[in-house]
Amino acid sequence: MAISLADPGDLIAFVVPFLLAIAFHEAAHAYVADRLGDPTARLAGRLTLNPLAHIDPLGALVFLLIRIGWAKPVPVNPMNFKNPVADEVKVALAGPASNILFAILAAFLFNTAGRALGGFAAQLTLAGVYVNLLLAFFNLLPLPPLDGSKLLRPFLGAELYYRLQTMGSFILVFFLLIVSTVFPQFFNIVFVPVRMLFTLFTGQGLTL
């Protein structure tokens, strides 16, 4: 599969799955948090599949530029949980898990319809697989405000942990700028599980 954001058709093939993926990702966070006793996200209107409720303008712009992006973090108050540390981790993992499930669904649509129809249908479903796998594994990086940073909560003091979370977007952008200029091979590391699962799910190679 070859996709270029210079092609308007390819751009649409990326944007549509990206909007759906972030909606499911953030709604999954909100749903699990609500089920575990924290209504903060639901009361803030984030328990919805409307992408407009979840878009982070900076994260969307970065996605269009380098195909890695993020959504607006769902507000969570761990004090509402019975087990604050463990439940916050469960909420964090719900997002990437939803993207894996969405990737499997997109692969099913490709294998049952997209492959036969070809053209934009194949392009759209393949992009859905790719975008969701990328969001899942990128969000597992241990960097605030990404979901992987929540996995560090048991090992960091509460004060340091929450201070880092408040500076999350700045830390992430700075990290991406440094990596893209000094260690661009880093992105290949993130893409390894994405490429492996993409080929497993679709039987297609992945070329960007």
**Residue 27 phi, psi (nearest 5):** -65, -35
**R_g of the chain computed on alpha carbons:** 17
H-assigned helices in 44-83:
57-66
Spatial contact of 29 and 95, defined as CB atoms under 8 Å apart: yes
Spatial contact of 202 and 110, defined as CB atoms under 8 Å apart: yes
| DSSP code at position 81 | S
Torsion angle defined by CA atoms of residues 14, 136, 149 and 165, in that order, rounded to the nearest 10 degrees: 30
Distance CA(136)–CA(140), nearest Å, equals 7
- Among the listed residues 19, 25, 26, 135, the single catalytic one is 26
Is residue 159 annotated as a catalytic residue, yes or no? Answer: no
Buried b (16+ CB within 10 A) or exposed e, 89-100: bbbbbbbbbbbb
Catalogue the active-site residues. 26
